[in-house]
Structure formats: C-alpha cells, structure tokens
Chain A
C-alpha cells in the first residue's frame, strides 16, 4: 500500500489552504493587533522620552533659577553691607561735624563771655574809678577842709588818677588805702 502522506510529499491543496489561512491571519493581525500594539508602544516610548527630556529641562531650569537666586542674594547682601557701611560713615561724619560745630560754638560762647567779662570789668573799673575820684575828693575835702577851691582840687585829683593810671593797679589801691 502507498502511504497517502509521507514527510516530503507535496500537497497542493494544503499549500492553497495554508496560503489563505496565513494571509488571512497576517491581514487580521496587522489591522487589529499589530497596528494598535506597535503604535501604543511607540507612543508610550515617545511619551517617556519627552517627559524625561522635560524633566531634565525642568531640572536645568531650576538649577538656573537657583543660581540666579543665589546671585541676587549675594548682590543684596553686598548692597546691604554697602548701605550699612555708608550709613555708618554718614553717621560718623555727622557726629564729627556736630562735635566740630559744638566745639566752635563753645569756643564762640567762651569768647563772647570773655569779652563780656572784659567789658564788665572795664565798666566796673570805670565806675570804680569815678567812685574813687569822688571818694578821694570827698576825703581830700575832708582833709583840707575846704582849703582848696573846687577847680584846684579837681586838677589835683586828676593828676593823682593819671599817676594812678600809669602805675600798677595794686599800687593805686595801696595808695588809696
């Protein structure tokens, strides 16, 4: 008996059947399975790639911002320090000026007071001198008991005072005493 099927037998019917089956399988899978699956896979890969890129960009961006923040802070600190220094110098200057002015004022006041004292002393001397003249006249009158006339007395006293003026004060006062 001849075997209907052996390992190497050609079978045209099977070839036709199988071509139809495989072609149908290929077309159905291509349309309804491989299409959606591969598109989903590539879409997912793209999403992952872009989100990773975006994350990296965000990281770089945040680094940049951090850097600029640090820069700004450094500048602000420097500004603050500079302001503080300036303010301190300003205050120092002001104080120095104040002190200078006060000193000058004090000096002016002292001068004024000196002058006033000088003036008062002058006035007092003047008063004292006239008082002394009167007193001397009175005393001389008393001494001389009206021996001399008034004009001679005055001339005498004036001479005395002139002498007194040219000689030292204490001499005059001792003289008076």
Chain B
C-alpha cells in the first residue's frame, strides 16, 4: 500500500479509536482529561485493559520502611494490604464492595493507601513510563542498527545507502548542523551533541507515539518534561563558565543599585528557563490531544444534548477538524522536539560562552 494511504488509515483509526477508549473508561460521560492524563494501565480497547505493576514504599510504625509490589492494581487491592482511599466511604474489608469496584473499573482511578502507615513513594509503573520505555526501545533499535552500518563502513568510507540510513542521517546531521553547531560553536558542540540528539529523538518519538492507535504521549506528562528540562538545567549549570556565574551574581557594567535589582532576576532566570522548557513541551502536547478529543467528543455531546440526528450531522465536521488537527499534531511533534532541543542548546551555549567584557551584551 502507498505510504499516504497507510497514514490516512492510521489517522482514521486513531480518530475513531481514541474516543471509544475514552468512552469505555467512563461510560456515563466523556472525559478528555482523563484520557490524556497518566494511568496505571494500558488501554487496548476493545480487547481490554492491561493493568501495570504497582510498587509502593510504605512506612509504618510497626515494620518501618517496606517495599510492597503487586502485579496489578487489582491484586494490590485483593491482597488486603492496600485500600482505595475513598473519602466518602469507610475503609472496609468488605469483599463485595471491592468486587463491585473492580467490576466497574473505577479501582484504577483510586488512590491506594496501605492498611497501616502511609505510602512514602509510589513507584508504580504508569502508562506514560511504559511509553517512555517504548520510545527508548525504538530509539535503541533504530540507532544501534544505524551505528552498526557506520561501523561496517557504509556511510563512513562509502555513501550512505537506503531509506533508513539516509532518513536518520539527515535528522542527525540536522541536529548537529542546525541546532548544536550554531548555538554551541564548533569546538564545544561535540560534548553536548549526544544529549541534544537523545533529547531530540526521544521527544520526537514520544510525541509521535501519542498519534498511533492505543498510544499515549509521555511528553504530555509534566513529570517527564520536568525531568527532561532538569537534564538541560544541570548540563547548563555544571558547564557554566566563570562569565556565566559572574553575570548571575555580579552583572558587570551596572551601577550597584541596578546590580542589586538584577541579581535576584538573574537567579530567577536560571530556573525560569528550564521551567518554561518543561511547561512548553507539556502544554503543547497536552493541548493537541485535548483538542482532538474535544472535537471527537462533540459528536457525543451533540447526541446527548440534541439527539441522534444532530449527533450524526456533526460527524463530518468533527472528523474533518480532527484530521486537520492530526496533521497539525504531526507538525507539532517535530516542532516541539526541535524547540526543546534548540533552546537547550541555546541555554547551554549561553552558559559556556567565555566572552570578554568589552563586547556589547
């Protein structure tokens, strides 16, 4: 089949399956946020849900710190050691209530608390972590294979061959020549290129995984984007030059009162940069999904509010807009990966710059 046809089929199936998934999770009402948020299961509807392992570090008066691991939320609840934290209901060992909860599927949305003591850290595997791992696996498969080709001499001494190598080489060269070198300079770029390449391809893969059926976007999780931004932050500060720190703590060429005003601003600036990185990536990827889900949700909302005729009438409009936003999302997947990487390179480049103070700032 032609690639374009594949893509179209893919998009249609995503457009059709995504809302169904959402609806299955919440049969009574449509909740786009619920679908976009992280979860403790993988949704393979209509086949079913796969619950992910739950890992808790629990501290209690009696046993001190202990590690509790379960294969699923269900088994955690059934073990009797963990309970759903239901504010309205009493904590009970009532098996009938538990079975009812599990049957309704709502146990997956509950916060689990231990029978005694409290959860210190919840190391449970989540959907977004699984997709982060999947993206890592894809990257390892692609780039170890690609590296193998270069090791064998294809592309090293001869011209690169084939779609696979040419496609990824183009992207690697793009990151090197258009992101790393312009911001970091010829001498320093090699030190940071591995991080920039990893960040670019990881973010890109995560973004694109959100667009395939049964997929989820790891980069629409603020925790994950914060970790990515933290990597940039640490690389920036660890490699900061003397000039970088002097600019923060004693900005040159200013009167003392202005300096006193600038120092807190500069210190704040150190942190706003990575925070902006994290929020930008998270917000862009989350927004795209919310828009798609809301457009699809229009069909169901219209059906609920104005009846089936209105609901059917809105289908073509809704699908057309969804398709449009899907294409936009593909674009955004690339753009956000590019923006995160180029801003990381820019921040690192600014911090490592060792410029003389006679220059204009």
Contacts and interface: CB of A to CB of B under 8 A. Distances in A.
Contact of B151 (A22, A36, A41): A36
Interface stretch (A8-16, A102-110, A155-163): A8-16
Interface stretch (A27-35, A70-78, A81-89, A134-142): A27-35
B195 to A, nearest CB: 6
A17 B122 contact: no
Chain B interface: which size bin? 35 or more
Interface in B37-65: 37-40, 55
Nearest to B124: A13
A17 to B, nearest CB: 5
Interface stretch (B225-233, B269-277, B332-340): B225-233
B37 A29 contact: no
A5 B37 contact: yes
A10 B223 contact: yes
A18 B38 CA distance: 13
A32 B155 CA distance: 16
B38 A38 contact: no
B315 interface: no
Chain A interface: which size bin? 35 or more
B121 A16 contact: yes
B222 interface: yes
Contacts, number: 146
B89 to A, nearest CB: 9
A6 B173 contact: no
Contacts of A35: 147, 194
B157 interface: yes
A47 B153 CA distance: 13
A43 interface: yes
Contact of B126 (A11, A12, A34, A37): A11
Most buried by A among B34, B87, B172, B221: B221
Contact of A21 (B136, B155, B169): B136
B195 A7 contact: no
A34 B223 contact: no
12 contacts: A1-B110, A5-B37, A7-B222, A11-B223, A12-B122, A14-B223, A14-B224, A16-B121, A19-B230, A34-B147, A35-B147, A40-B156
